[in-house]
Chains A and B, each alone.
Chain A
Amino acid sequence: MKLVTAIIKPHQLDEVKEALEAFGIQGMTISEAQGYGRQRGHSEVYRGAEYTVDFVPKTRLEVLVDDMDSSSVLDVILKAAQTGRIGDGKVWVTPVEDIARVRTGERGVEAI
């Protein structure tokens, strides 16, 4: 079992979600995140005083998948999230030791 985590541009979320649903993914979790990479931040001006905003709003998306799906899911997200401009984000895969569904108590792959 694997956890696929993606940091994407917030306005790419719908496209990524639809692509994942088309692939057959049943559920996912998102959270609002802030961060920067090569993109760096941007500057804003209020009454003539300039402020540098380092952390840019991003969406963090997490999907639990079976081992054999992880590479394909990564590709699906990659393709859907890509705009080609700086700040598109990152996707990574980490191993997961165990999973439990809270309602039924199912464990492992059954709980995905």
Chain B
Amino acid sequence: MSPTLVPLADAAETVDYAATTFLIVCASFVLLMTIPGLALFYGGLTRAKSILNMMMMSFGAAGVVGIVYVLWGYSMSFGTQDVAGIIANPFEKFGLAGTDGIVNPFGYEGYGNIPELAFVGFQMTFAIITVALISGAVADRIKFSTWLVFAPLWVTLAYFPIAHMVWGGGLLGGGETSLSGLVFGSTDGEANVAPIDFAGGTVVHINAGMAALVLALVVGTRVGFGKVPMRPHNVPLVMIGAGLLWFGWFGFNAGSELAADETAALVWVNTTVATCAAMLGWLVVEKIRDGHATSVGAASGVVAGLVAITPACGSLSPVGSIVLGLVAGGLAALAVGLKYKFGYDDSLDVVGVHLVAGLWGTVGAGLLATEGGLFYGGGFEQTAVQILVAIAALLVSGVVTLVIALALKATMGWRIPEDVEVSGIDQTEHAESAYELTARGGRIGGASGTAGARAPEETHDLEGAKG
């Protein structure tokens, strides 16, 4: 991802249609990752009584974050009026003012002119999935209303600043005044050792993973956590979701090149092999530790691999990507057990998968980068920068999330009543149930505003309801 978008002064310049098509299609892929990919992945992992609430947290995040992104999110992330390297002025491009032109992420290399709005759309889908990822940590037990207030607050105070810091020319980028520029010096306005985060290891995965950990701690454990079985209720949905995530991730990673060029092709291959290796890495750990290679393990390994290769995919060789993926799958498989050891209820393992694999991918990029990587004779500097950036992202995300989570706890409250949680959040928060398998009859009407409110006095048995 190239952080600086160069506006084109010359009106004669036209868009690069190949790059523009590529970017719009990739943006659509990334939206598919959240809806329905992540919604299905998470939904299948919950219990049957709370799948709808789980899926609704992804849908709800999309609804809120999409609007916020257009209003002030894009301006805060990629605006030109930088404030202390932390955010950009939210009012500069408020409501996408002045974004109807053509920009070039490559600084006039003869290709890659794209409408700024294509870039806006692409980046919007990243903000959406990052918020949706967090929801896995708080399955089954939080008020939907509190979630819908958390989403815009968190994306505004944590995501947009970190996106600006990493991609918008801020503190965690590769500029003269960035953290790495200050530590390792800079030449001609560019840091000597620029951090590597091609598609969002820090911005998306470390950020969401850390937020998930903090939120799980503030919200508390589910009723019966560690005592009653909470096994995934629909494993095929988990695998469909993982498959859609994998597919959509091509838009996420290859799309981050912002043009259909040789780097995008390398990224596609790296994304695929790292994911293959991570799936196998997870399964090997499971086979040795538990005696079986499981379906949920394969699906989780896929996601861990995709997370790990995200920051590194533009800097590694395909063979280096295999190594990165293999380690990612194994590490994440070991990390998902930590929550039982430490007693935090990160329900669907956002920490074990996204935070751990995201940290490894960010640090691993420093080790395995073909240019400047430690294992390629580049010395320790790149890895040091990667660690520095990862720690900074952890701190910002952790502190901001803690403040928001505690504020909401003191005001709206996070938890639904305990008896409601036990009987199932779907029925009380959404007045629905996911599965109707018993055909147990019932009658129309009751709630206001439904057709039944005007129905004749006699009640009808639903036709065919009685077997």
Contacts and interface: CB of A to CB of B under 8 A. Distances in A.
A49 B294 contact: no
Contacts of B289: 48
Given A45-B291, A46-B294, A47-B300, 20 more contacts: A44-B231, A46-B231, A46-B296, A47-B296, A47-B297, A47-B336, A47-B337, A47-B349, A47-B352, A48-B286, A48-B289, A48-B290, A48-B333, A48-B337, A49-B231, A49-B337, A49-B340, A51-B229, A51-B231, A52-B229
Residue from A45, A47, A50, A52 whose CB has the most chain B CB atoms within 10 Å:
A47
Interface string B282-301: 00001001111010110010
A46 B231 CA distance: 7
Contacts of B231: 44, 46, 49, 51
Interface string A29-70: 000000000000000111111111000000000000000000
B232 interface: yes
B76 to A, nearest CB: 36
Interface string A84-102: 0000000000000000000
Contacts of A49: 231, 337, 340
Interface string B221-264: 00000000101100000000000000000000000000000000
A45 B292 contact: yes
B292 A48 contact: no
Interface in B332-386: 333, 336-337, 340, 349, 352
A51 B78 CA distance: 48
B467 to A, nearest CB: 11
A44 B292 CA distance: 10
The 10 closest A-B pairs by CB, nearest first: A51-B229, A45-B290, A47-B336, A46-B231, A48-B337, A51-B231, A46-B296, A46-B232, A48-B336, A47-B296
A39 B349 CA distance: 33
Contact count band on B: 10 to 19
Contact count band on A: under 10
Contacts of B333: 47-48
Interface in A1-54: 44-52
Nearest to B300: A47
Residue from B232, B290, B297 whose CB has the most chain A CB atoms within 10 Å:
B290
A50 B294 CA distance: 12
Nearest to A45: B290
A13 B105 CA distance: 66
A50 B296 CA distance: 13
6 contacts: A45-B290, A46-B296, A47-B297, A47-B300, A47-B352, A48-B336
Contacts of B340: 49
Nearest to A47: B336
Contacts of B349: 47
A52 B228 CA distance: 10
Contacts of B290: 45, 48, 50
Interface in B24-81: none
Nearest to B299: A47
A50 B290 CA distance: 9
Contacts of B337: 47-49
A46 to B, nearest CB: 5
Nearest to B238: A46
B229 A45 contact: no
Contacts of A46: 231-232, 294, 296
Nearest to A54: B229
A52 B290 CA distance: 14
Residue from B229, B294, B296 whose CB has the most chain A CB atoms within 10 Å:
B229
A102 to B, nearest CB: 12
B136 to A, nearest CB: 12
A57 to B, nearest CB: 14
B45 to A, nearest CB: 8
A99 B185 CA distance: 93
A48 B352 CA distance: 12
Contacts of A51: 229, 231
A45 B285 CA distance: 13
Residue from B231, B286, B297, B337 whose CB has the most chain A CB atoms within 10 Å:
B231
Contacts of A48: 286, 289-290, 333, 336-337
Residue from B289, B291, B294, B300 whose CB has the most chain A CB atoms within 10 Å:
B294
